[in-house]
Amino acid sequence: MRLVSYINYRVKARTRYSVHSPFVYDFIEKVIRGKGKKDGYIPAETTRARMFKDNRSIIFEDFGTGGQYNPNYSIRISQIARRSAKRKKEGRLLARLAAWQKPAQILELGTSLGISTLYLAAACPYAEVITLEGCREVLAIAENNFNQQGMSNIRTLPGPFEETLPQLLSDGSITPGLVLFDGNHQYQPTLNYFEQLLPLARPSTIFVFDDIHWSAGMEKAWEEICSRPEISLSIDIFSMGIVFFKAGFTKQHFILHF
């Protein structure tokens, strides 16, 4: 599935030279092709390297792979890192996206070991980063990683998203400018979380969906999200899908080389 999807992506992907939208061109130059501040990548990448070497075992509660792994099993931290940690390429893109947008609040669904969280928190030290994780043992490791890197702008919420997300939304204080959906790679849960967070979207809001080509279900969810009238611009970079809610835009969809 992923191989066929990747071949289709490579055939259709466009570069900056074939994009005529000034906004999308700026996005390509500053986010996709940008370099960013390399010292801002250090907290995430030193942690990533350490997690890849950590052979401690924990009991892992798997809420989000749609049955591709058995729930509640013993696994080494290094295995979790290799399976779920963003590549430097994607992590740095998230950091550049956050720095480009400058949100006051960031919401992440799916902390895992906290690698992506650290990219976001370091890129926006002035922003509050709220991150949700279903597996408490994994979250404890992530929290230790945040403390080791001296990150004080991260707030964690443990437990299944079906419980923590409604609780978070109920207090009315959350207004994320950037949302990363990276914790449950299944069709229906992805749409459910999107629907719950959609009322919070403003013209400046950005939603990022990880692994949009993970499975047929994720591709279906991505297509349905892109078709929603609230979405003015959608961008497919294969490993992630990014949607915008900007007013006054003619609805557009781009598949961009990354």
Helices 136-148 and 42-52 cross at an angle (nearest 10°) of 130
Domain count, the chain: 1
pLDDT by residue (tens digit) across 233-251?
Answer: 999 999 999 999 998 888 9
Structural domain includes residue 67: no
Q: What percent of the chain has pLDDT over 90?
A: 79
Range of 11-20, 31-40, 160-169 with top mean pLDDT? 160-169
223 has pLDDT over 90: yes
- Integer Cα distance of 244 and 236 in angstroms: 12
85 φψ region: left (φ > 0), alpha (ψ -120 to 50), beta (else): beta
Question: Strand locations in 29-99, DSSP E?
Answer: 57-60, 73-76
Structural domain includes residue 66: no
Handedness of CA 61, 165, 152, 93 (dihedral sign): positive
Structural domain includes residue 186: yes
- pLDDT bin (cut points 50, 70, 90) of residue 65 is low
- Integer Cα distance of 79 and 143 in angstroms: 18
Q: Name the residue range of residue 121's domain.
A: 2-50+85-255
- Integer Cα distance of 140 and 107 in angstroms: 18
Question: Residue 10: which CATH number?
Answer: 3.40.50.150
- pLDDT bin (cut points 50, 70, 90) of residue 67 is very low
Structural domain includes residue 245: yes
Predicted local confidence at residue 71, as pLDDT: 64
Structural domain includes residue 171: yes
